[in-house]
Amino acid sequence: MEFLNKIFRGDRVMWMIFMFLCLISIVEVYSASSTLTFRTDYWRPIMKHTLFLLAGLGVVLLVHSCLPKWFSLAVIGLPITWFLLIATKLIGSSTNEAQRYLSVFGLSFQPSELAKLCLIGATAFFLSKYNQSKNNIYYNIILWMSAITCGIILLDNFSTAILLFLVIVIMLFIGQVPFKQLLKLGLICIVAGAAFVGFLLFTPKNIMEPVFPRGITWQGRIDRFLQEDEPKDGEYVINDKNYQVSHANIAVARGKLFGNLPGNSRERDYLPQAYSDFIFAIIIEELGLVGGIFVLALYVFLFIRAGIIAGRCEKLFPKYLVIGCALLIVIQALANMAVAVNLIPVTGQPLPLVSRGGTSTLVTCAFVGIILSVSRFENPKGVKREEEIVAELEEAERIAEENKTETGEDWVVAEVY
């Protein structure tokens, strides 16, 4: 146990939440990946996902060993992600009518995930500078960074851009940016958002396609969300327009209170992206309302714990960094859950640490690692624990050296005798 404590350092509650989410992920992705097994062998999808989770654990261990001050390098990394995002738009591979993946040396990844990580770090850095000097130049830098990053992401991933910008705005609010400036920013966002929605709703498809191809997808999603489903003979009507949402609703309804137990989902065979975008519906179907509330509670506890860790920080940069990382994880989780229960239109956002994924899983693990790093090196309790561990390691090394010396002397005496 002492050995594990020396490896898995930082906040124990955060580690427990991380492990619970990974365990739920392995069970539910294994159950929800039935449609993938028809194209490959039975074990390949879950083995690949498990390997990504193990790699994510390695990322957490690596990142949580870094000093929080090193995360300010995100300021340098952000322009690099802009270049990668533009390269993805030009030469990236297309998935679901959107160019989100960039291949380098045979490995595909999503630059938008790296951009989220760098933007959160850069925002925390300049927000700490703003609070120290009250110089509006840092506030303007944050706005321009956010506008450029979210603007490029929006071309192929509308929901990610909106969620990311929402996190930045909340960080600005928590960072005590004057309400007058936030109100002005809010009015600009409302006007821009209304203009964009109007553009989506009233622009003909033949004009939309050459200008903004991804807008056609969102036109369809808004139409499906606003469409009223008409009952037929007491049954739920399923057609091409509401196919995903209908099967998600059926999965949620079948779950009842305690669910049908893992592996007994029926809707996994009909629901597209059951292992990713709609995995929360499968969780409710198999684990019931109790299981769904438990998963929701894990994210709520993650946010509360991150708030406690941030509250213990004396420096502003790690404080804002923890808040930004936790906000992004939790808001993305809430968006995924809201889609599964038909509260908002389909967004394509995975459930952090639970949905089957590659780059998104690794980047989310990096966010968790950052929170754990701050809990180690900026938390008074964490610093005290680090000092105790270092002292224990030094004592163990001293004892080992003494034993080695004593063993060598005995061997010499025996040889002489």
Residues contacting residue 193 through CB under 8 Å, at least 6 positions apart: none
Residues contacting residue 30 through CB under 8 Å, at least 6 positions apart: 46, 49
Q: Given this model, what pLDDT does residue 314 score?
A: 86
406, exposed or middle or buried, with CB in 10 Å at 0-12, 13-18, 19+?
exposed
Residue 299 to residue 333: CA distance in whole angstroms: 7
Query: Shortest CA distance to 89 belongs to which of 75, 76, 101?
Result: 101
Q: Given this model, what pLDDT does residue 264 score?
A: 84
Tell me the backbone φ, ψ of residue 231, rounded to 5 degrees. Answer: -70, 145
Q: Given this model, what pLDDT does residue 414 score?
A: 41
pLDDT, tens digit, 9 for 90 and up, residues 233-247: 444 455 545 677 888
Q: Given this model, what pLDDT does residue 115 score?
A: 93
**Residue 158, Cβ neighbours under 10 Å: how many?**
22
Q: Given this model, what pLDDT does residue 130 score?
A: 92
Residue 81 to residue 145: CA distance in whole angstroms: 11
Q: Given this model, what pLDDT does residue 411 score?
A: 41
Residue 80 to residue 74: CA distance in whole angstroms: 10
Q: Given this model, what pLDDT does residue 413 score?
A: 40
Residue 290 to residue 279: CA distance in whole angstroms: 15
| Token pair 């909340």 in the structure block, residue | 170
Question: 222 with 201: CB under 8 angstroms?
Answer: yes
Residue 357 to residue 263: CA distance in whole angstroms: 20
Q: Given this model, what pLDDT does residue 301 score?
A: 96
Helix pair 111-133, 74-91: axis angle to 10 deg: 150
pLDDT, tens digit, 9 for 90 and up, residues 390-413: 677 677 777 777 777 665 544 444
Taking only the tens of pLDDT, the chain with its 417 residues reads: 566 667 788 889 999 999 999 999 999 998 888 777 776 667 788 888 899 999 999 999 999 999 999 999 999 999 999 999 998 888 877 665 566 777 776 678 888 899 999 999 999 999 999 998 888 899 999 999 999 999 998 887 888 899 999 999 999 999 888 888 989 988 988 888 888 778 777 777 776 666 666 666 666 666 666 665 554 444 445 554 567 788 888 888 888 888 888 888 888 888 878 888 889 999 999 999 999 999 999 999 999 999 999 999 989 999 999 999 999 999 999 999 998 888 887 887 899 999 988 889 999 999 999 999 999 998 776 666 666 776 776 777 777 777 776 655 444 444 433
Amino acid identity at 393: L
For the chain, how many residues are written?
A: 417
* Structure tokens belonging to residue 411: 């061997």
316-319 contacts: CB < 8 A, separation 24 or more?
316/127, 316/128, 316/131, 316/132, 317/68, 317/69, 317/72, 317/124, 317/125, 317/128, 318/68, 318/124, 318/374, 318/377, 318/378, 319/128, 319/378
Which helix (H) or strand (E) covers residue 248, if one does?
helix 243-255
230, exposed or middle or buried, with CB in 10 Å at 0-12, 13-18, 19+?
exposed
Query: Shortest CA distance to 100 belongs to which of 301, 298, 297, 357?
Result: 357
Question: How far is Cα of residue 251 from the mean position of the Cα atoms in its chain?
Answer: 24
Sheet holding 107-109, edge to edge: 93-95, 98-104, 107-109
Which helix (H) or strand (E) covers residue 254, if one does?
helix 243-255
Q: Given this model, what pLDDT does residue 158 score?
A: 83
